[in-house]
Amino acid sequence: QVQLSQWGAGLLKPSETLSLTCAVHGGSFSGYYWNWIRQPPGKGLEWIGEINHGGSTNYNPSLRGRVTMSIDMSKNQYSLKLRSVTAADTAVYYCARCMFAELSMDVWGQGTTVTVSS
């Protein structure tokens, strides 16, 4: 059974770069999109972007070019970088697997709380 575990810095100052990594346990990278989603305190879910095993990416235009996703198949990991963070980027960040065929997110990481504060 596939599991995702994620980690990264939980406290950032404005203008710093958020960096998170998600490890895939017990499954293959092929045939899926690997996603990042976030949830600000008390709010709904926001899709950040996705990457496939070939390294092709799709990002949410609302993040205005601040986001980069990468994949390291040798380590079964993928990563998120979000530059120039502000308080508005404070959220719980989730990694999630999205099936190619069904385009639905069937496996999620445990979430990482990221707080941006001076």
Partner 1 sequence: DIQMTQSPSSLSASVGDRVTITCRSSQSISYYLNWYRQKPGKAPELLIYGASSLQTGVPSRFGGSGSGTDFTLTISSLQPEDFATYHCQQTYTIPRSFGQGTKLEIK
Binding site for partner 1 (CB under 8 A): 35, 37, 43-47, 50, 58-62, 94, 96, 98-99, 102-106, 108-111
Q: Single out the residue of 51, 40, 56, 64 nearest to residue 97, CA to CA.
A: 51
Q: What is the four-CA torsion angle of 48, 37, 23, 52, rounded to 10 degrees? A: -40
Q: How far is the CB of 13 from partner 1 (least distance, A)?
A: 26
* 16 or 68: CB nearest partner 1: 68
Closest CB 118 distance from partner 1, rounded Å: 27
Nearest partner of 78 among 15, 23, 9, judged by Cα: 23
Closest to partner 1 by CB, 77 or 112? 112
Least distance to partner 1 from the beta carbon of 74, Å?
26
Check if the beta carbon of residue 6 is closer than 8 Å to that of residue 21. Answer: yes
The smaller minimum CB distance to partner 1, of residues 13 and 103, is found at 103
